[in-house]
Amino acid sequence: MRNILINGSKRSPLEEQKLEIVERKGLGHPDSICDAIMDQISVKLSKAYLDKFGMIMHHNADKSLLVAGDVETRFGGGSVREPMLLIIGDRATFEVEGITIPVKEMALQTAKGWFKKNLRFVDPEDHVKYQVELKPGSLGLTDIFKRKGKILGANDTSAAVGYAPMTKTETIVLKTERYVNSKDFKNKFQESGEDVKVMGLRKNNDLRLTVSMAFVDRFVQSEREYFEKKAVILEEIDRFVKENTDFDKVTVKLNTLDVAGRGIDGVYLTVLGTSADSADSGQVGRGNRVNGVMPLNRPVCSEAAAGKNPVSHVGKIYNLLTHRIAEQVYEQVSGVEEVYIWLLSQIGKPIDQPAIASAQVVMKSGNSMENVRSDMEEVINSELENIDKFCMDLAHGKIPIC
């Protein structure tokens, strides 16, 4: 029997509240770069461990710092004076019964491959230096994996929370960043860099988006051309947002720090399409939550999911599973307006047996939670019963983490 608690909530659904603030850091933001690369390293290691040993071994590649480099931006194209530095940590299994895994080489290969695939103007050999600080794990945590079994014990006492559904504001913030970083958008607007941030503010049913977008200097010949290109891109973003929402009023602003007349100092130019080339460092865990946004009105998990192992680290598993369970409750149980799912682990206990699994539910008007309580328990039990499949999907990179 699992310890499941289901409560009704008297809070107003977020859609009905007067104020909402939502942020998303885009593909080329320094924090997003760290999250994405470190999680790809975990996926790479997981697949290698499965191939060599038939099971995923201890690793937590969840510590990373991207140290900004130094560039000279110029209209028409600048130059890189000092490359970025990517520091990769934390723990991994290097050897089992005489069979070794080239952990550091795999980490480097994965990082370079990610840069090459996702950032058009970053040369992973010339524009980035690497420092791999992955070390063998502690005896206590590595022993969890030696115990084997279909379901491993949790490697930490940790809590997570997820919710459903996403609000209109959360959805359009996510869609907007994905649109401006899409292949079609980049083909149309080559000057648009991958470092994008979208901040959404909703007051009642009015939406204001503030978009920050790094421009690539080789495609901008002058200050005048910068503002001309910026106006065209702003018009396109504004069109996209208005066509994909139904707010009473929509206002979109782009690169609001810009000041005409100050030349290159008054515009947002980069050499490589990311502020990490000179202006801003990045770190794991400072970016988007696992559903792709940073929702300031919601309770969120304090753990960074990126890079943690997918079979015992509840900081990753529960972080994503709470959102999965919330979505299933919302979709499968009638009358639910909004649902929050909480999971708490106890170190060493099987991950399918959390110390508590709790649902906080806002029901639609005229609906009783008592009539569907057993349905909710069934959904929660089913998801926990199949946690091993969920973990394997995480291990193979089938579930995005940011």
Band (pLDDT 50/70/90 cuts) for residue 215 is very high
Per the domain annotation, does 302 fall within a domain? yes
CATH number of the domain within which 190 lies: 3.30.300.340
Residue 224, pLDDT > 80, answer yes
Look at strands 59-67 and 336-344 and give their pairing. Answer: unpaired
Number of domains into which the chain is organized = 3
Decide if pLDDT at 315 tops 80.
yes
Angle at the Cα of 288 (from 154 to 392), degrees rounded to 5? 40
The verdict on residue 299 lying in a domain is: yes
pLDDT tens for residues 343-357? 999 999 999 999 999
294 with 161, same domain: the answer is yes
Residues 52 and 103 reside in one and the same domain: yes
**Residue 134 sits in the same domain as residue 239:** no
Strands 269-270 and 84-92, by their bridges, are unpaired
pTM confidence score? 0.95
Task: Indicate the pLDDT class of residue 149, thresholds 50, 70 and 90.
Answer: confident
268 and 234, same structural domain?
A: yes
Under a CB-based contact definition with an 8 Å cutoff, are residues 221 and 191 in contact? no
Give 175 or 140, the one with higher predicted confidence. Answer: 175
Euclidean distance between CA atoms 21 and 365, whole angstroms: 25
Cα–Cα distance for residue pair 273/72, rounded to 1 Å: 13
Question: Contact 84/71 with Cβ under 8 angstroms?
Answer: no
Per-chain mean pLDDT for the chain: 95
In a domain, 401, yes or no: no
Residue percentage of the chain with pLDDT more than 90: 91
Q: 68 and 85 share a domain?
A: yes
* pLDDT of residue 143 exceeding 80: no
Instruction: Express each pLDDT in 153-211 by its tens digit.
Output: 999 999 999 999 999 999 999 999 999 999 999 999 999 999 999 999 999 999 999 99
| pLDDT in the model for residue 141 | 63
pLDDT at 140: 59
**Do 279 and 296 belong together in one domain?**
no
> Is 90 exceeded by the pLDDT of residue 142?
no
Within a domain: 402: no
Locate the DSSP E strands across 143-221: 159-164, 192-203, 206-216
- Please give the pLDDT value at position 358: 97
Judging by beta carbons within 10 Å of its beta carbon (0-12, 13-18, 19+), is residue 283 exposed, middle or buried? middle
User: How far is the C-alpha of 93 from the C-alpha of 54, rounded, in Å?
Assistant: 14
Among candidates 112, 82, 43, 153, which has minimal Cα distance to 392? Answer: 43
Domain range enclosing 370: 4-12+157-167+289-395
- Mark whether 174 and 76 lie in a shared domain: no
Task: Give SS3 for 377.
Answer: helix
Q: Mean per-residue pLDDT for 58-70?
A: 96
Share of the chain above pLDDT 70, in %: 98
Q: Is 23 a domain residue? A: no
